[in-house]
Chains A and B, each alone.
Chain A
């Protein structure tokens, strides 16, 4: 379960260009729930996902995941939390462009105690699942947008995370690839993963397998 309690996030605090990205947000997402965070650009969706993934720290408030207060964790512990619990699909995928498909996918596992053979097995399993095995040696810079997204998904799933966070996942995809992504989300939902998707793409609205739609505007839930 994800609990967001009285979260506020300010950028450039106390400076002339201070921005209040989130303002006193409260939200609870149950285990296995699929929540869509809706809202225009600048509404605070991405910032909220980033706080839930412990990628940044809130100015005020707390994020609690499965009873663990993650918003004030020391840096190394928040990294471990991400490695063990979170699969994050970034808007621009954030792949390492000079690495090939296989190398990008296994990167989250390299610092763990898992041996190379097991890493290889996990990588081949996710690559097969998302039909990208044939491109495993190709540098990601040379892939299409859809292929890059599949690599990003594989990388997010290789740790078998119980929480999947996706930030504008279809922003760079055509209609066909968007449908494929919806299939993937439905599959993850069936596997009882907790999923949060920040998007302003209408294809995610009113889906029959969505549990909740959260509307955001100017850093607040409306």
Chain B
């Protein structure tokens, strides 16, 4: 019996082909928009959190007249004396604007013999020791950076333009892949000496100092002690950075919310339109079925099958499409909305991250609503006297 009714439902959908194709397209489109937004925010959050986790506990910057200036390297020795501090590393780094592509690269200086403040850098220092210590100026670039340079015909080396106008040829000595795309997409690693030369930095100064604190409960106290020791510094903890990133993300999420509300609103208008009544032909068909001996349950079973076929097909079609849109096509349009704050950064691939809670949420805010919208008017028609419906 179930098979017969399922066949009838399938046949019924095919009979009203154009109408059902229209509903499927609209329904798919809405689920596609919703799931794309969910997927992209989820991917960005994953990326953001994994990047933030890799940050040092404390960053110390020297401030003069409200602007960041280079900091004396010797201060790292003083900071290291504070109890609870595991390490204080003077960083040499900066942004290099690559005009051809209109993006900024982060150039990070490391020395293979010293402790690294980040695990990724330690791996790079270990793996590319020869490159970093090579007599020929060399650098190690993230895969995405390499791709950008290659697009601009810099496959083996690159000319950096120094502040005094001279150029510096640097050999591409290696390529690394990072666990976070955000990082690998803009990072160039080279020896500190080379970074100093490119940015014209004094050897007694660093860009900032990162401080390692093993006990997270001590971070705020140590940050306060550093500030007391060097009142001209800005002391930023990882929590501060997390909050500031989160704020940017929340602002973007506000835009997402607007999108979401718009999509949901459209969805409910369509559902309302469908729920507000059946066509006279559909009503008559229900009346005929009752008149020839179909029970209300039989009619509702068929309507349930119809709604399930349409909504499940739309849901899985739209979900597949949005996965392809976000992860294969890199979410054109939507990506710009969510990553507008990093337009000066090179593009990076969104990490694949499927959150089943998000998929379940999407499922439960769309499919049951659609099924109810289909079942309720059918139920109303099916509970009328058959004679009344077919007359």
A residues contacting B by CB (< 8 A) are 50, 53, 55-57, 75-76, 79-80, 82-84, 86, 88, 90, 94-99, 103, 107-113, 116, 119, 155, 159
Are B295 and A88 in contact, with the CB atoms below 8 A? no
Task: Return the chain B residue nearest A79 by Cβ.
Answer: B295
Q: Residues of B contacting A111 with CB < 8 Å? A: 1, 4-5, 293-295, 298
Question: Shortest 6 CB-CB distances between A and B: which pairs?
Answer: A83-B293, A56-B387, A111-B298, A55-B387, A110-B4, A98-B15
What 1/0 flags go to B359-391 for Cβ under 8 Å of A? 000000000000000000000000101111010
Stretch of B208-216, B218-226, B284-292, B303-311 contacting A (4+ beta carbons < 8 Å): B284-292
Task: Return the chain A residue nearest B288 by Cβ.
Answer: A94
Count of A-B residue pairs with CB < 8 Å: 79
* Complex Cα–Cα for A125 and B10 (A): 26
B296 within 8 A of A: yes
Q: Residues of A contacting B386 with CB < 8 Å? A: 55-56
Expressed in whole angstroms, the minimum distance between the Cβ of A69 and any Cβ of chain B is 17
* Complex Cα–Cα for A72 and B3 (A): 32
Are A90 and B390 in contact, with the CB atoms below 8 A? yes
Q: For chain B, which range describes its interface: under 10, 10 to 19, 20 to 34, or 35 or more residues?
A: 20 to 34
Q: Residues of B contacting A90 with CB < 8 Å? A: 291, 390
* Complex Cα–Cα for A108 and B281 (A): 19
B residues contacting A by CB (< 8 A) are 1, 3-5, 8, 11, 15-16, 281, 284-285, 287-298, 383, 385-388, 390
Given the known interface contacts A55-B386, A90-B390, A155-B292, the answer about A113 and B1 at a Cβ–Cβ threshold of 8 Å is yes
For this complex, 19 residue pairs linking A to B, each with C-beta atoms less than 8 Å apart, are A53-B291, A55-B290, A55-B291, A56-B386, A56-B387, A56-B388, A80-B295, A82-B293, A83-B293, A88-B291, A88-B292, A90-B291, A94-B287, A98-B15, A99-B11, A103-B11, A111-B293, A111-B294, A119-B4
Q: Residues of A contacting B8 with CB < 8 Å? A: 107, 110
Expressed in whole angstroms, the minimum distance between the Cβ of A148 and any Cβ of chain B is 13
Q: Residues of A contacting B298 with CB < 8 Å? A: 79, 110-111
Task: Return the chain B residue nearest A87 by Cβ.
Answer: B292
Expressed in whole angstroms, the minimum distance between the Cβ of B92 and any Cβ of chain A is 76
Q: Residues of B contacting A56 with CB < 8 Å? A: 385-388
Q: Residues of B contacting A155 with CB < 8 Å? A: 292
Q: Residues of B contacting A55 with CB < 8 Å? A: 290-291, 385-387
* Complex Cα–Cα for A22 and B292 (A): 23
Q: Residues of B contacting A80 with CB < 8 Å? A: 293, 295
Are B294 and A94 in contact, with the CB atoms below 8 A? no
Expressed in whole angstroms, the minimum distance between the Cβ of B5 and any Cβ of chain A is 6
Are A76 and B295 in contact, with the CB atoms below 8 A? yes
Expressed in whole angstroms, the minimum distance between the Cβ of A48 and any Cβ of chain B is 11
Are A94 and B4 in contact, with the CB atoms below 8 A? no
* Complex Cα–Cα for A88 and B387 (A): 12
Task: Return the chain A residue nearest B301 by Cβ.
Answer: A111
* Complex Cα–Cα for A63 and B388 (A): 19
Are B385 and A116 in contact, with the CB atoms below 8 A? no
Q: Residues of B contacting A57 with CB < 8 Å? A: 385
Task: Return the chain B residue nearest A77 by Cβ.
Answer: B295
Q: Residues of B contacting A107 with CB < 8 Å? A: 8, 289, 292
